[in-house]
Amino acid sequence: MRIPALALLLAALTSTQLAQADDAPFVDPGVRPGARPQNMVLADLGLHVIGIGLQRTLAPRLAVQVDLDSYTPWTNYPDKVELVGLIVRGRAFVYPLAAAPAGLWLSPFAQYGLGWAKVGGTRDLGSVWAAGASVGYTFLLGRRVALGIGLGGQYHVAHVLGSSGAPSFAGFYPTADANVGYAF
């Protein structure tokens, strides 16, 4: 009986703290209080991608991001196989304990694009996609410079036409996220 009462008490305290955080002004240590940045231009430096993106805060605890990335799944091949591509990635960021765009976040994502691979000396076209989720943290330095890191998992697929084996693949893989951006 004590555990449900304790869980109820913790839920009440947490929801009160979350509600108060929405009303509080954004404060970055060493900088006077001000409005939260609503937009961010960023470099997306993921495990298999490098690109540029835009993040927009839609609500105090929600932001969305879209990126255009170059894609190279270098961790998926035991031998050197050349597979490169271009993808578009969309993701949402939910900030359960802080206000966007800084703090702890949970982020589901999906990406899709085209890949090119060498198969038997010729270059073939294919589709590449992934869906997954990450958990991470974004720091705002001086209310403008954003540094974000995260880890998660994804279901990752590359299907190169005319290839049933490598360089085509499908499976669950880890994902790592790193973002460096300018918030405004």
The 10 Å Cβ neighbour count of residue 111 is 22
Task: Say if residues 129 and 115 touch (Cβ distance below 8 Å).
Answer: no
One digit per residue, pLDDT tens: the chain, 184 residues? 455 544 454 454 444 344 444 444 454 444 456 678 999 999 999 877 899 999 999 999 999 999 999 988 766 665 556 788 999 999 999 999 988 999 999 999 999 999 988 777 778 889 999 999 999 999 999 889 999 999 999 999 988 887 666 778 889 999 999 999 999 9
CATH code of the domain occupying 35-183: 2.40.160.20
Q: How far apart are CA 49 and CA 70, in angstroms?
A: 6
